[in-house]
Every structure is written in C-alpha cells, then in structure tokens.
Amino acid sequence: MFPMHQRGPMRPYRSTPTRRSFRNPTRSNVFAMFQDTEGNVDFERLTLTARQINEIYTQINPIISQFRRR
C-alpha cells in the first residue's frame, strides 16, 4: 500500500539564505582567537577579553538577579 522508502515532509521555502551558527566551537577555534600571527598566545588580547566579559557581567548581573528572585 505504501512505498518502502517514503520521503519526509518537504521543508518550507526560505526566501533568505540561512546563517551558519557556531554552536559547538572546538577548543582549537577558541584558542585560535587568542593567538598572534606566529601562533603564540597573545596574553594582552586574552586579558582584554576577560576584562570585557567581566565588565559585561557586572553590568548585567543586577538585571539577571531580579529575574532569579521571581
């Protein structure tokens, strides 16, 4: 009654191209962001990024803590 190999439902047409997302970056990709042109670890870039993350956290933390209390 039904064919042996059925195809699943067709995807709807998308007029815009899909974006690639970096869901699971590998360790080498993360560390590659903090390397200089010679392949050495750029500690200045690493510490600058850590400071920026810390600043963002201190700005957003009060807002997030309000949602946790509810």
Render pLDDT for 18-30 as a digit per residue (tens, 0 to 9).
Answer: 555 555 556 668 8
Confidence of residue 3 (pLDDT cuts 50, 70, 90): low
Helix (H, G, I), strand (E, B) or coil at 35: strand
- Upper half-sphere CA count for residue 34 (Cβ side, 13 Å): 14
**Domain parsing of the chain, residue ranges:** 43-70
What per-residue confidence (pLDDT) applies to 32?
Answer: 86
Exposure string (b/e) for 19-56, b if CB count within 10 Å is 16 or more?
eeeeeeeeeeeeeeebeeeeeeeeeeeeeeeeeeeeee
Q: Which residue has the tokens 């869901």?
A: 23
pLDDT in tens, 29-55: 888 889 998 989 999 999 999 999 999
Residue 28: how many CA atoms within 13 Å on its side-chain side? Answer: 1
pLDDT at residue 12 greater than cutoff 80: no
